Amino acid sequence: MSQTDRTRALRPATRMVHAGTMRSQFGEMSEALFLTQGFIYDTAEAAEARFKGEDDGFIYSRYSNPTTRMFEERMMALEGAEDARATASGMAAVTAALQCSVKAGDHVVAARALFGSCRYVLETVLGRAGVACTLVDGRNLDAWRAAVTPRTKLFFLESPTNPTLEVVDIAAVAEIAHAAGARLVVDNVFATPLQQKPLELGADVVVYSATKHIDGQGRCLGGVILSSKAWIDENLHDFFRHTGPSLSPFNAWTLLKGLETLPLRVAAQTANAALLADHLADSEKVSRVIYPGRADHPDAAVIARQMSGGSTLLAFEVKGGKEAAFRFANALEIVSISNNLGDAKSLITHPATTTHKNLSPEDRAELGIGDGLLRLSAGIEDAADLIDDVETALAAT
Ligand SMILES: *Cc1c(COP(=O)(O)O)cnc(C)c1O
C-alpha cells in the first residue's frame, strides 16, 4: 500500500500534513525541495529501462519531479482523485483541461459567470482551434439541456461564481452532461477542496488555481488538474509532457507546505467571512449581502446539498453606487484593495472597475455586478479588528 492509499483513510486535516510525503535516504522531517531539472542514471541500461517505462523513476522535471509529485499526491488525497498534474498557474490548469477535452468541430457548453481569462480560453483559444462554445446561465438546468448539440463534448463551470457567489447544482449539471455524452470540468477555486467535492458530485475533472487558498499566503502561482487515472492517461499525459505547463519544484514545495495549514486557514477565513456577512447585512448602508452560508442566499437549497461550511468570500452592494463603494474601500485600513483572493490577509475588490471591467455594462447587469458591488475575501486576522475596520468604512460611505 502506498503512502497515499494509507493516508486516504484519514481525515482531511491529517491528510494535509502527511499525505504524499516521500522521504529521501536522509530521513528529513520536512518535505525535501528537489530543485533539479533532470536525473542521473547509474548505467546506460538503467536509462534505457526508465525510458521504456520498466521502472517508474523520474526522467525530467517537465514531466515530473519528486517535490511536485508530493504536492500532486497530497492534492489527490484531499480531493479523492486517482491522479493529478500540477501546473504553473491556475490558468495553465484550466487551459490544459479544456484543450485536452476537445478537438476541431466539437462544441462546449459553459456557465456564463466565468473568470475573465477562462472566458478568453473558451471563446478565443478554443474558438481559433475550431471549437464552438455556448454560454448559459449556470443555475438554469433547462438552459444547459437546450444548449446541447450532437457535437457537444464538454461542459465547464465555476461554482460559487466570481464575484456574485452564485452556486450551480453540480450533480444535476453532471447528469445532463453525461446524458449528452459530454464530460464536466469544474473550476473549484472559490469553494476550496474542503468545502465542495466536485468529483463526488459527478464531475469528471476538477481544476484549481493553487495561487488562491492553497498557497494562501501571497507567495507563488500554481495550479492543479485532478481526475481519474484513465482520463489523465488518455487525455492529458502526453499533452502535459510535450507542451510544458509544469509547476516549478520550488513553487510545488511552497504549495505543499501551504496544504499543511489549509484546513486551519480556511476555517478561520470562513468564520470571519460569516461574521462580516451578518454584520454588513444589519447595516442600512448595504442593500444586499450574498454569502453562501446565509439562509437568505438565493441558492440556499443547492448549497445545503453540495457544500459544507459556508465560504471564505462574501459579496455585498453598498447604497450609492461606485462612489460609495470606492469610499468604503479607501477607508479600510486592515483590509487591502486587491484582485487576489483566498489569502491570509483580508482583501477587497470592486469588480465593475477591475476584474470585470472588460464586460459590457449589459453583460455586467446580467451577471448582477452593479457599480456598488464589492467582493471581500476574508483573511485570518482577529474578527474584532475586521469588524472595526468595516464599521469605519461603512461610516465613510
Ligand atoms: C484566479 C483564478 C483562476 C486563475 O488562476 P491563476 O493562478 O491566477 O492563473 C482561475 N479560476 C478562478 C475561479 C480563479 O479565481
Q: For residue range 108-155, what is the model confidence (pLDDT) as tens digits?
A: 999 999 888 999 999 999 999 999 999 999 999 999 999 999 999 999
Which stretches of 86-199 are DSSP H helices? Answer: 90-99, 116-120, 126-128, 141-147, 170-179, 192-195
Looking at the structure, do residues 184 and 233 belong to the same domain, yes or no? yes
Nearest CA to ligand 1 atom 1: 209
Residues in contact with ligand 1 (CB, 6 Å cut-off): 89-91, 94, 115, 118, 158, 162, 187, 189-190, 209, 211-212, 221, 223
What separation in Å is there between the alpha carbon of 233 and the centre of ligand 1? 24
Percent of the chain with pLDDT over 70: 98
> Which pLDDT value is given to residue 183?
98
Q: Are residues 174 and 101 in the same domain?
A: yes
Ligand 1: centre distance to CA 196 (Å): 17
What range defines the domain where residue 276 resides? 262-396
- Assess whether pLDDT exceeds 70 at residue 2: no
Nearest CA residue ID for atom 6, ligand 1: 90
Query: 252 with 266, same domain?
Result: no
Same domain, 202 and 238: yes
Taking the centre of ligand 1 as the mean of its atom positions, its distance from the CA of residue 206, in whole angstroms, is 13
Cα of 172 vs centre of ligand 1, distance in Å, is 24
Do both 58 and 145 map to the same domain?
yes
Adjacency order of strands within the sheet including 83-87: 83-87, 223-227, 205-209, 183-187, 152-158, 107-111, 132-136
209 C-alpha vs ligand 1 centroid, how far in Å? Answer: 5
- The Cα diameter of the chain in Å comes to 75
C-alpha grid cell for residue 137? Answer: 446561465
Q: Report DSSP state, residue 296.
A: T
- 394 alpha-carbon distance from chain centroid: 30
Domain CATH for 390: 3.90.1150.10
**Probe target for ligand 1 pocket from 209, 251, 343, with the most ligand atoms within 8 Å of CB:** 209
- Whether 79 contacts 199, CB under 8 Å: yes
What is the distance in A from the centroid of ligand 1 to the CA of 40? 36
Q: Are residues 27 and 62 in the same domain?
A: yes
> Of ligand 1's atoms, which has the minimum distance to the CA of residue 222?
7
Q: At what angle do helices 66-79 and 249-281 cross, to 10 degrees?
A: 30
Q: How far apart are CA 203 and CA 227, in angstroms?
A: 9
Residue nearest to atom 4 of ligand 1 (CA): 90
In tens, the pLDDT along 87-104 reads 999 999 999 999 999 999
Of 12-21, 145-154, 217-226, the range with the lowest mean pLDDT is: 12-21
Residue among 27, 23, 3 at smallest CA distance from 14: 3
Q: What is the CATH number of the domain that holds 70?
A: 3.40.640.10
Residue minimizing CA distance to atom 7 of ligand 1: 90
The residue whose CB lies within 8 Å of the most ligand 1 atoms, and thus the one to mutate among 89, 98, 115, is: 115
Does one domain contain both 222 and 78?
yes
* Whether 239 and 268 share a structural domain: no
pLDDT, one tens digit per residue, over 317-360 is 999 999 999 999 999 999 999 999 999 999 999 999 999 998 89
Confidence of residue 48 (pLDDT cuts 50, 70, 90): very high
Give distance in angstroms: CA of 115 to centre of ligand 1: 7
Residues 247 and 376 grouped into a single domain: no
- As a whole number of angstroms, the distance between CA 255 and CA 5 comes to 21
Domain boundary among 239, 258, 277: 258
d(CA 340, CA 85): 23
Confidence of residue 309 (pLDDT cuts 50, 70, 90): confident
Q: How many residues does the chain have?
A: 397
How far apart are alpha carbons 311 and 216 in whole angstroms?
15
pLDDT for the residue 1: 38
> How far does residue 356's CA lie from ligand 1's centre (Å)?
14
pTM above 0.75, yes or no: yes
pLDDT of residue 164: 96
- If one counts the domains in the chain, the total is 2
Compute the mean pLDDT over every residue in the chain, rounded to the nearest whole number.
96
- Clarify whether residues 266 and 227 are in a common domain: no
Mark which of 230, 258, 286 sits at the end of a domain.
Answer: 258
pLDDT of the residue at 56: 86
Please check whether residues 200 and 315 belong to one and the same domain: no
Best probe residue, ligand 1, of 91, 166, 312 (max atoms within 8 Å of C-beta): 91
CA triple 118-119-120, angle to 5 deg: 90
351 C-alpha vs ligand 1 centroid, how far in Å? 15
Residue 286: strand pairing partners: 318
- How much is the average pLDDT of 208-218? 98
Q: How confident is the model at residue 5 (pLDDT cuts 50, 70, 90)?
A: low
Residues 6+ apart with CB under 8 A from 281: 289, 294, 296
Residue 304 and residue 228 share a domain: no
Nearest CA to ligand 1 atom 5: 90
Question: How far is 258 from 210, CA to CA, in rounded Å?
Answer: 9
Going by CA atoms, what residue is nearest to atom 15 of ligand 1?
Answer: 189
Amino acid sitting at position 218: G
* pLDDT the model gives residue 12: 87
Q: How far is the CA of 380 from the centre of ligand 1 (A)?
A: 21
Asked if residue 325 lies in contact with residue 374, where contact means CB atoms within 8 angstroms, the answer is: yes
Index of the ligand 1 atom closest to the CA of residue 342: 15
Residue 3 reports pLDDT greater than 60 = no
> Closest ligand 1 atom to the C-alpha of 158?
13
Which of 258, 278, 299 lies at the terminal end of a domain, its last residue?
258
For ligand 1, the distance from its centroid to the CA atom of residue 148, given in whole angstroms, is 27
